[in-house]
Copies of this chain bind each other. A is one copy, B any other.
Amino acid sequence: MIVSPPAEIGMPLAEVDTPALLLDLDAFERNLTRLADRAKRMGVRLRPHAKTHKSPVIARRQMALGAVGVCCQKVSEAEALVQGGVADVLVSNEIAGARKCARLAALAREARIAVCVDDVAHIEALSAASVAYGVTIDVLVEINVGGNRCGVEPGAPALALAEGIAKAPGLRFRGLQAYHGSAQHIADFAKRRDAAASAAAKARETRDLLARHGHDCADIEGAGTGTYAFEGTSGVYNELQVGSYIFMDAHYARNLDENGRPVSDFEHSLFVYATVMSKPARDRAAVDAGKKALAMDSGMPTFADLRDIEYTAASDEHGNLKLGETNRPLVIGDKIRLIPGHCDPTVNLYDWYVGYRGDRVEALWPIARGPGY
């Protein structure tokens, strides 16, 4: 289905219909620049995670500021990125099935493509597809650095896979995927730092073992918005896969810095614009952004412009608001900006970014949303 955007370029922000996914372009651009500068100072490469934004426009902006390419989490995302002009894409995940391998190999005719493996079955399937399409795919061995999700154990099991890749026709060994997902949202600074350090130690040990056996890792990949400063200064990781930094969300805003204060590296730039559709009591209202407009997996949204107010519950198309004294004047038709609990799956619900600067709509960017396959 073709879904038209809820706004027009040049329109005042207040006229955008709701629910809509707003992007504050000034804040977004400051976030882009801030991480790019930080990576340069740390002397590491950036390969931002495009699963966050699902937008070739944003990927190209990241690369214009120095990113070497982007990563993403599945074949359909890689296709959308390459179709949108991104020439270097890593699928930072395993893929299974002959169809997906064939699509990835076909994509390697158009762009530099890399993917992760954690089993010899992946190597065999990717090699067969690469040979069939006459291409070379770069392959990273994913190691389990603490998340217990995918990835072989560090050390000898990773070496066995690297050796398998080196021998497989159509594949080229490129390095290690060592992302520690469950470390990203440890709120306490010291505990988060220690989790990242533990992951870095496993990556270092594995890198050194592989080097002793003649398999040099060109890339050691990992990091996220919660831990990038640790990986970037670890001396092990040389490519950072930070995603959420461009938008920030309410969940990441709960992380604390070394002084116990909320982290302030990046600004909220992504909002869900919602309208008050019911005001049935002095202290209650309902907005038109519920479970189909906001991902609730990491908690309720917070408010960009209002204090003394709480988003207490969601239905499919309702958000229930509890109003403190200062917000009781809210009336039906008022529009408010919500900060999503989790940006990635919220973006996935929308077809368009409505980019604005000041109080004017300036950009309408399509989103390669969907479950993909």
Contacts and interface: CB of A to CB of B under 8 A. Distances in A.
Question: What are the 7 tightest A-B residue pairs by CB atom distance, in nearest-first order?
Answer: A150-B278, A96-B277, A73-B317, A6-B373, A17-B373, A293-B371, A291-B345
Contact of A292 (B2, B293, B332, B345): B345
Nearest to A318: B149
A18 interface: yes
Contacts of A318: 93, 149-150
A181 interface: yes
Given A17-B373, A149-B320, 18 more contacts: A1-B369, A1-B370, A51-B317, A118-B280, A119-B280, A119-B332, A121-B333, A144-B280, A149-B318, A150-B318, A151-B280, A153-B280, A291-B295, A291-B297, A293-B371, A297-B297, A349-B370, A351-B370
A275 interface: yes
A155 interface: no
A20 interface: yes
Interface of A: 1-3, 6, 17-21, 51, 73-74, 80, 93-97, 99-100, 118-119, 121-122, 144, 148-153, 181, 275-280, 284, 286, 288-289, 291-293, 295-297, 313-318, 320, 331-333, 342, 344-345, 348-351, 366-373
A119 B292 contact: no
Contact of A94 (B3, B20, B278): B278
A288 B144 contact: no
Given A51-B316, A292-B345, A148 B284 contact: yes
A332 B96 contact: yes
Contacts of A296: 296-297
A275 B149 contact: no
A150 B297 contact: no
Given A74-B288, A317-B74, A351 B1 contact: yes
A115 to B, nearest CB: 11
B348 A181 contact: no
Given A100-B17, A278-B150, A292 B348 contact: yes
Contact of A277 (B6, B95, B289): B95
Contacts of A314: 297
25 contacts: A1-B369, A2-B2, A18-B97, A19-B372, A20-B371, A93-B318, A94-B332, A97-B275, A118-B280, A119-B278, A149-B286, A149-B313, A150-B277, A151-B278, A151-B280, A181-B315, A289-B371, A291-B345, A292-B370, A316-B345, A316-B348, A349-B349, A349-B371, A350-B370, A351-B370
A349 B350 contact: no
A259 to B, nearest CB: 30
Contacts of A181: 315
Contact of A97 (B17, B344, B348, B368): B17
